[in-house]
Amino acid sequence: MLSMHPTFPIERSLPMSRLLLLIAMFAAFTMTAPLQAQDASSTPLQDALQSVQADVASPSRSTVPQVLAALLQADAPGTVDFLRAWGDRAVYVRDADGLFFYAQDAPDRMLTLIDIDSGASVATTSSRDLSQIRPNAGVRREINAALVSFELTHPDPARRIAALETIARSPDADQIIPLTAARDAETDTRIIGRMDRLLDLLNARFATDTATRIDAIEGLRGDINTEARRVLNQTLQTRAEFASEIPAGTNVARIRTPGEDISLVDAYATLSDAGLAPPRPGRNAIRDALRANVVDGEVGGVPVHLLTTDERRREAYRALQEAGIVAPLVTEADMRAAVAEYVFFDAYLEADPVVTDAARDSLDSTRTAISFWQFASLSLDALSLASIFFLAAIGLAITFGVMRVINMAHGEFIMMGAYTGYVVQTVIPNYTTSLVIALPLAFAVTFAAGVVMERLVIRHLYTRPLETLLATFGISIALQQLAKNIFGTQARPLTAPDWLAGAIQVNDVVSVASIRVAIFVMALGFLLMLLYILNRTRLGLEVRAVTQNPGMAASMGINPDRINMLTFGLGSGIAGVAGVAIGLVAQVTSEMGANYIVQSFMTVVVGGVGSVFGTLAGATLIGFLQKGIEWFNPANTLAAQTFMVLFIILFIQFRPKGIVALKGRAAGD
C-alpha cells in the first residue's frame, strides 16, 4: 500500500502546515481503501516507531513532525490511539531494548506491558526497567494538532464531530488545509454543514486571499453564534492613531474630532505623551509646585491661607511661571492650537478595506438578527410570566365573576397548594412521582378549604362587598400565621424533577428554562380544561346560567347556592394547583401568596371580570407590559411595577369593563 502513496523525505524542518495537509490527504484516502489491503500491507507500528526511536522517547517540538511523517509513511493500524496515548503520557519505553509499550498497574508495584500493535499483554516488569515518556506542553500541542487531523477522517462520526469542536475551541491558520481536505472526503451531510461553517470561521480570520476571506465573511452574514460574532469583531478591531495627515494606504475606520469624538484634554494628552506638546500640569502638579515654593508664608506673593480655590492657586502658579520657576500653564487656546495641527483617527488593524467593508456589512446583518432574537427572547420571558399570572388569577376570575366576591385570601390558597407540594416531597423523595401526586392533592386540599370558607363565611356576606373584603383579608392573615406556626418563617424548597432542570437552548441569544415551558403547558392545559368544563358539562352550563341571570337560573331549577359553593371550591382548587407550579420557580413561604394577589386582581380587572379569555388577555397584557418596562430599566423592577400599575389605572379609565366585557350579572354589578 505504500506504493500507492506519494513518498517524501523525512526532514526535521518539515513545516507543520504541510504535514497536516499530508495527514488529511492520507487519512481521506485510507477511508476509501479496502480494509483488507490496509491490514495486509501496513508496517507494524512498533517498526515505524523504532525508525525514529530517539525522537519518540525524548520528544521536542522540532522533532514531532519527523515522528508524524514516519507514522504516515508506515500507515500502521493503531496510529491514532498511539498519538493519543503519547500525548497523555501513557507510553513507556523499555530501557533494555528501546521498545515502546503501553502499561497497566500490576501487583507488588509491577507494570504489565501491553503490545502497541496487538494490544496483548506481553510481560510483567518492574517500573525501574521502564521510562515513562513525558512530552512537555509544547509537544502535546503539536501532537493534538496532528491528532485532530487524523480524527477529522475517522470512520466514527462522533470522533469527527469531536475533532471539529476541538478546532472551534482553538482555531489556527494551519487547520484550514487539513479541514478542507477532510471536507472533500466527507459524506455525512450533517458533518459537512459543520465543516463548512468552521471553514468560514477560519477563512474569514486567517485566509490570505481577499476573495476567499470575503466569501467566508459573507457566509457569516446573519450568524448570531458567538464564534461568528467574535471573528467579525476581530476583523473590525481598530487602534487609535494621530498624524499630521493620514498616511497613504491606511484603512481608516473613522475620523475623531477633538471636542466631539474625543475630548480636548485627551487629545492634547495624546500629543503630550508622544513628546509633541509640552505637558499640561494637573491639579496635583500645581499643588506640589506651590508647596515646593513657599517663602515666608507666601507663594508668588499670595498668602498660603488664601490658596483655598483653584483660581487663587492658579494665580500663584502664574506668578511663579512669570518668575521662570515652574513650567508654564497650558491654556485651552494652547491645547486647541496644538491639536489643530494633527488628525486623530481610528484605523482598522485589517489593512484591506474590502475585507473590513464586507465584515461591517455582515456584522450589521448579524446585529439585525440579534435584535430579532432578543425580541423573541423577551417575548418568551413575557409569555412565561403571563402564564404564571394566568395560573394565579384564573381561580380568582371564576369566583369574582360568578359570585362577585372580593377574595383577599386567594393568595393564601396559592400558598396552601405550594406547601402541599412541599409536604408531598418530604414524604416521597422521587421528585417526578411527588409532583404527579402533589398536583391533584393540592387541588383537593384547597378545594375543600374553599368550600369550608364559602360555607362558613362567604355565603353570609354575598350582598356586602366591603365586609366580604375585610373578612377575607382577616382570613388571609390568619392563614399566613397558621403557616408560620406549622412550617416556620424559613423558605421551604419545592424541587423540580431532573427532566425539568436546565434550559432549552434555541441559540446563543434565546434560551428558555424548562420549568417555565412546563408552567406554560400547564397554563394552556388549564385553559382548555376550563373551556371544556364551562362549555361542555352540566356544571359549566349552570355556572354560565347563574353568571348571566341568577334569578332566571333559580326559576329553571338550578340551585345558585350550590353553584356558588362549587364555583368557589373550583377557583380555590385551581389556586392550589397554581401554587405547586409557582413554588417550583419561587420560594415557598407563608407570604408568597401576598406577592401574587395584587397581580391576580389586576389581571382579572384588566382582562374582564368572570371571563376565561379575558383573564388570558389580561395576563398576557400585564406579562408583556412588565417585561417591556423592565427591558427599558432592567436594574429597577420596582419602577417597572409602578409604571405598570399607572398604565393599568389609565387603561381602566378608558375601558372600565376590561378587554373582554362580560354580559349578565357581573357586567351589571
SS3 labels along 368-384: HHHHHHHHHHHHHHHHH
pLDDT for 622 beyond 60: yes
Dihedral class, residue 259 (left if φ above 0, else alpha if ψ from -120 to 50, else beta): left
**Helix axes 560-583 and 538-548, enclosed angle (nearest 10):** 110
Of the listed ranges 226-235, 395-404, 516-525, the least confidently predicted one is 395-404
Mean pLDDT of 429-446: 90
Percent of the chain's residues with pLDDT above 70: 90
- Contact assessment for residue 393 and residue 621, using Cβ atoms and an 8 Å cutoff: no
- Contact assessment for residue 408 and residue 590, using Cβ atoms and an 8 Å cutoff: no
Is 116 buried (19+), middle (13-18) or exposed (0-12) by CB count in 10 A? buried
The three-state DSSP-derived secondary structure of 443-475 is: HHHHHHHHHHHHHHCHHHCCCCHHHHHHHHHHH
Mean pLDDT of 426-442: 90
pLDDT for 358 beyond 50: yes
**What does the pLDDT read at residue 634?**
64
pLDDT for 26 beyond 50: no
pLDDT-based confidence at 413, cuts 50/70/90?
Answer: very high
- Coil, helix or strand at residue 590: coil
85: nearest Cα among 103, 71, 99, 73:
103
500: nearest Cα among 514, 516, 481:
514
- Contact assessment for residue 103 and residue 112, using Cβ atoms and an 8 Å cutoff: yes
**What does the pLDDT read at residue 40?**
41
Bigger pLDDT: 610 vs 110: 110
pLDDT for 2 beyond 60: no
155's CB contacts (< 8 A; 6+ apart) are 31
**What does the pLDDT read at residue 405?**
78
**What does the pLDDT read at residue 19?**
47
- Contact assessment for residue 146 and residue 68, using Cβ atoms and an 8 Å cutoff: yes
φ/ψ (deg, to 5) at 66: -65, -40
**What does the pLDDT read at residue 360?**
92
**What does the pLDDT read at residue 173?**
80
- Residue range(s) occupied by CATH 1.10.3470 in the chain: 371-668
- Contact assessment for residue 316 and residue 307, using Cβ atoms and an 8 Å cutoff: yes
**What does the pLDDT read at residue 152?**
80
Bigger pLDDT: 402 vs 619: 619
For cell 385551581, the residue is 574
- Give whichever of 14-23, 220-229, 547-556 has the largest mean pLDDT: 220-229
Instruction: Determine the topology of domain 371-668 in CATH.
Output: ABC transporter involved in vitamin B12 uptake, BtuC (1.10.3470)
Bigger pLDDT: 662 vs 278: 278
> How do residues 44-91 score in pLDDT, each as one tens digit?
888 888 888 888 888 888 888 888 778 777 777 777 788 888 888 888
For cell 480570520, the residue is 205
CA-angle at 451, arms to 448 and 581, nearest 5°: 50
Do the strands 121-126 and 238-243 form a parallel or antiparallel pair, or are they unpaired? unpaired
**Cell, residue 206:** 486567517
Q: Would the pTM count as exceeding 0.85? A: no
**Cell, residue 133:** 515518556
- Contact assessment for residue 516 and residue 384, using Cβ atoms and an 8 Å cutoff: yes
Answer positive or negative: Cα dihedral of 532, 533, 538, 540.
negative
Answer positive or negative: Cα dihedral of 494, 498, 500, 506.
positive
599 alpha carbon, distance to own chain's centre: 29
> How do residues 484-540 score in pLDDT, each as one tens digit?
898 888 888 888 888 888 788 888 778 888 888 888 888 888 888 888 888 888 888
* Residue type present at position 230: R
Distance CA 503, CA 290 (A): 64
440's CB contacts (< 8 A; 6+ apart) are none
Dihedral class, residue 384 (left if φ above 0, else alpha if ψ from -120 to 50, else beta): alpha
**What does the pLDDT read at residue 635?**
62
The per-residue pLDDT of the chain, averaged, comes to 81
**Cell, residue 298:** 507666601
221's CB contacts (< 8 A; 6+ apart) are 361, 362, 365, 366
Answer positive or negative: Cα dihedral of 380, 570, 576, 610.
positive
For cell 382577616, the residue is 474
> How do residues 276-308 score in pLDDT, each as one tens digit?
888 877 777 777 778 888 877 777 777 877 777
- Coil, helix or strand at residue 549: coil
> How do residues 469-478 score in pLDDT, each as one tens digit?
889 889 999 9
- Contact assessment for residue 145 and residue 20, using Cβ atoms and an 8 Å cutoff: yes
Distance CA 342, CA 345 (A): 10
Distance CA 301, CA 312 (A): 11
Q: Which residues face 110 on adjacent strands?
A: 106, 126
**What does the pLDDT read at residue 319?**
81
